[in-house]
Structure 1
Amino acid sequence: MNMQSNAPISTATKMMLALKAFVSVLCFTSFSIAAQTSVKNGEYLATAGDCISCHTAPGGKPFAGGLKMNTPFGYLLSPNITPDFETGIGSWSKEDFLRAMHDGVNKKGQDLYPAMPFTSYTKVSKEDVGAIYDYLRTVTPVSNAIQVNQLDFPFNIRSSMIVWRELFFTRGFFKPNPKQSDAWNRGAYLVEGLEHCSACHSPRNIMGAIKPSKEFTGAVIDGWYALNLTSNPLTGLGNWSAQDIASYLKTGSYPGKTSAFGPMEEVVHNSTQNLTDADLMAMATYLKSLPSNSSLRSDSQKVFANKAQGAALYIDNCSGCHQSSGRGIVGVIPPLDANPAVLAPNGSDIIKVMILGLKARNGYTPMPAFASRLTDDEMATIANYVRTSWGNSAAANVTAAQVKRMRANP
C-alpha cells in the first residue's frame, strides 16, 4: 500500500525549488542568446566569404549548389551546403565542417579541389568557422543532389590531389603581426582568409596553384581580368587612397575612374557592400600595404600602328558616351582614361564589355553590346586605341584572334 504525505512543503523547500527553476531558465536564456549571437555572426562571416555566390546556381535556391566552375582541367559543380540531410550538409558535424574549411577534406575523407578556396579558408579561426556552420544550419534545406566532379581524366581521380596538396597547400590559422595595427591585422585576416581575394586576383601555374611571387598582381578568371591589387601605380592601387578602396568595395564605384563589372560586381553585391565600414577600411589598409609588383613592364609597351583607324572607330562607336579624350561623364558614363580595366595586361575586360555590353549599375547607364556591329579586327583595334590613348600606357597587344576566341566563349 502506497502512502503519500500530505504534509505542507516548507518555505525553505519552496525557495530552493524556485531558485532551481530560476537558474534553469537563466541557463536556457543565456544559451539561447549565445546561439542567436553565433548565428548572426555566422551570417555576417558567410557574407564576407561570399559563400552564396559560388554555392547558388543561376535561378537556383540559395546555397543549394550547382554553379558550374570552369577549370583548365574540366569543370566542377559547386556542392549543396544547405542543411538537407541527404543531399546537403545536414549530416555534417561542426567538426566535419571545420575539417573541410581548415584542412580541405570533406566528410567522406576525400581531398577537396582548390576551386573551393580552402587554401585561404584555412586561415579562418575555429570560432568563426563554427559560427558559419551555425548559420548554415538555419538556412532553408533544399533537396538538390549534385555530382560535383566533372573533371577530365586523370584529374577526376581525387587521389591526384595528394601531390598538389604537398606542393601547394600549407595548413594553418591566421597569426596577427604584432608589428602592425589592429586595423591592418583585421584587414589581412579578411583579405587573406574569408574574402580569399588572391584566389581571383593572382595568376596560377600549370597545376592550377597561385604563383607565390605574383600573388595579387591580377589574373584572368572566366574571361574577365581581375585587377592588380598591389601598390603598382600603373596597373594596381598605387594611386588609390585607402578611402577610395573602401568606398569602391562598398559601392562598386570609384567616381571618375571605374566601376565594378563582371565577377567583381557580384562580389560587391553579395559580399563587400554588406560589410561594416570598419572592416572595409581594414581591408583597404591591408591592400595599400601590398608591395608593388610591376606586371606592366616599360619594355612591354608597343607602338600602335593603327592609331588613325582606331580613332575613327572610337569616334563612330564610343565617343558619343565616353566623350573625347575618354573622359566619360562623372557618375553616368565611366571614363576610359586611367581606368584600371583598360590598363589591365591583356585587354580581356574591354573585349568582354564590347561583346556582351553592360547592364545599368551603381547609377551608371547601360552599355549596348557591339557583338553584331563590330568585327573581331575592329574590336581589337578599338581596344588597342583606348589602351594607348590619352596617357594610357598599356600595351597594344589585343588581337583579332583573341577577340574571336572570346566571342565564341563569352
Structure 2
Amino acid sequence: MTWRRHGWWVPALLVVAVLGWWYLGHGQPVASPAQRAADAAALRDPALIARGEYLATAGDCAACHTARDGQRYAGGRSLGTPFGDVPAPNITPDPDTGIGQWSFDDFWRALHEGKGRRGELLYPVFSYTSFTKVSRDDALAIFAYLKSLPPVQRPDTALGLEFPYNVRSSLVAWRALYFKPGEYRPDPTKSEQWNRGAYLVQGLGHCNECHSTRDSLGGIEQDRHLTGGQIPQLDWYAPDLSTQAGGGLDGWRAQDIVDLLKTGQSAKGTAFGPMADVVRLSTQHLRDADLQAVAVYLQSLPPRAPAAAVPFVQAASHAQGGKLYAQHCADCHGKDGRGVAGTYPPLDGNTSVTEPTGINAIRSVLLGGFAPATAGNPQPYSMPPFAQQLNDEDVAAVVGYIRQSWSNQAAAVQPADVGTYRNTPVD
C-alpha cells in the first residue's frame, strides 16, 4: 500500500496535537558539561572516525545526502513524498550551509528525537523513526566521521511541500501517532548475534522504512513490521522479509540473505531497483559478521498468516505471454523459469515476481534489470529493457505469464497497469 494524498483535515488532528504538544518542549536531557567535553575530545580520535565511516555506510547516509553527480554528503538531493519534495540537507562540516556549527548534542537530538539544531521538528523523510534506536556511542562515531569530511558549501534547496504539510507544527500530531523515541534495548532472551542483527535492521539499516506498509498519512503501520510495502514515489515493491511460511523470503537460507546483501545476487534472486543501490552503496561493505547477524534476525521473523483465499484465475493472455516469454526471456531464465545459477536469476518462486502488486516485474520488463556491481560480483549480467519493443498489452501478457507459470500463482496484471508505470521516473 502506498502513501496516498488524502485531505489532511488539520482541525481534526488538533485533538491529537494537544496530546502531542508536550513533545515540543520535552525530550531526552542533554549531556553534562563533563560529558560534552569528553565528546568533543573524542571527535578527533582516528579510530572513532573510522568506526563512524563504517556506521554511516551501514546506515546508507550518502544515498540521500548526495545529489546525483554531487559531492558526497553535501545534500541537494530532492526526496519525493506524496505530499511534496523534501531536500536532503548538507551534512558536511561547512559552518554556513552544513553542520559545521553543530555540537554532538545537536546531532544526537536530530538522530534520536527528530529535532533540528534550533529545536524545529524534522520531517520524517529523515528516518529518525528508525535512527532513534541508534546508540549514543555509535551516534558519536558517525558525528566524528561527518565532522572529519572536507566542508562543502551548498545551501539547502527550497522545501517543496504544499500547505498544510509545510507547517512544521502539524508534525506534533504526526509524531504523537507514529513516533516513540528510544535507543535499542537488547533482548536478554536472545543471542548476542540476534541482537546485533535486530539493531542493524531496526536502527541503522532502517529497513522498516521501505519494507513496511504506510497509511494515508505516511505513517508505518506498527503491526506490519517488515511485511512488505510499495515504496512511496519510487513505485517499486519492497518484499516481506520473513523467511518463514507465507513470508516474502519463504525458503531463503541465511547464506542466501548474506549473498544478496554482499554481492547483489543469490541463488534465490538478484537485487534490482532501489535495493541494487542499497547493496552497492551500503551492504556490500558490511563485515561478514554483521551480514550473518542480519540474516539470523530476519530468519527469526514469524510466519505470516495466509492471505484470504482467492480463486486462481489464469489470464486470458497466458498463451500469448508464453510465446513472448519463449521469444524474449527463455534463453536466459530457462523454459522452466529456474534461471542459471550465478548468472541469471530464477523466476519460479521469485518473490520479486510474485509480490502482490506486479510492479517489480512490470518495471523490470520495461526498464531492464541492472544488478549492482560489487566487489564480489564486479561484472553482473544485466537484463535489457523492452519498453521500445513491447506495447502495454504485450508486457502485461508476458508479466502475467511469469506470475502464473511453474509454481507461481500470483494475480495477472493489466495493460493499464503497464501504462501507469511505463512513464514513472527511474529515480
TM-score (norm 1): 0.88
1:393 matches 2:403? no
Within the candidate set 107, 128, 132, 2:117 is matched to: 107
Give 1:166-181 correspondences, 5 Å limit: 166-181=176-191
Aligned to 1:119: 129
1:247 equivalent in alignment to 2:262: no
CA RMSD of aligned residues (A): 1.8
Distance of 1:101 and 1:68 partners within structure 2: 20
Q: Distance in 2 between matches of 1:141 and 1:34?
A: 16
Residue of structure 2 in register with 1:23 after alignment: none
Where do 1:11-410 residues align within 5 Å? Answer: 35-147=45-157, 149-221=159-231, 222-255=234-267, 257-294=268-305, 296-299=307-310, 301-359=312-370, 361=372, 362=377, 363-396=379-412, 398-410=413-425
User: Residues 235 and 296 of structure 1 are in contact (CA less than 8 Å); yes or no, is this contact kept in structure 2?
Assistant: no
Deviation of the 1:188 alpha carbon: 0.6
Larger Rg: 1 or 2? 1
Query: 1:301 Cα shift?
Result: 4.0
Q: 1:390-410, CA deviations, whole angstroms, 9 ceiling, x for partnerless residues?
A: 1112222x2211111111213
Q: Aligned AA for 2:66?
A: T
**Which residue identity lines up with residue 86 of structure 1 in the other structure?**
D
Distance 2:229 2:173 in 1: 24
Tell me the TM-score normalized by structure 2: 0.85
- In 2: Cα distance, 1:323 partner to 1:389 partner: 12
Q: Deviations over 1:372-395 (max 9, x none)?
A: 111112111111110010111222
Using the TM superposition, give the Cα deviation of residue 32 of structure 1 relative to its aligned residue in structure 2, in angstroms.
8.0
Q: What percent identity do the matched residue pairs reach? A: 47
The alpha-carbon distance between structure 1 residues 324 and 94, as it changes in their structure 2 partners (threshold 3 A), is same
Distance 1:376 1:119 in 2: 39
- Give the whole-Å Cα distance in 2 for the aligned partners of 1:300 and 1:163: 42
SS in 1 for 2:382: coil
Match of 1:380, as an amino acid? A
Instruction: Please say which of residues 54-63 and 292-301 is displaced more in the overlay.
Output: 292-301
Deviates more, 1:354-363 or 1:205-214: 354-363
Q: Aligned-pair distance for 1:296?
A: 4.8
Q: Which runs of 5+ in 1 are unaligned?
A: 1-30
Change in 2 beyond 3 A, CA 1:319/1:285: same
Which segment drifts farther, 39-48 or 356-365? 356-365
Matched positions, count: 378
SS state of the match for residue 86, structure 1? coil
With CA pairs under 8 Å and 6+ residues apart, which has the higher RCO, 1 or 2?
2
AA paired with 1:267? V
Contact 2:270 2:371 in 1 (8 A): no
SS in 1 for 2:210: helix
Are the counterparts in 1 of residues 247 and 304 from structure 2 also a CA contact under 8 Å? no
Q: Is the 8 A contact 2:43 2:144 kept in 1?
A: no
- Structure 2's unaligned 5+ residue stretches are 1-40
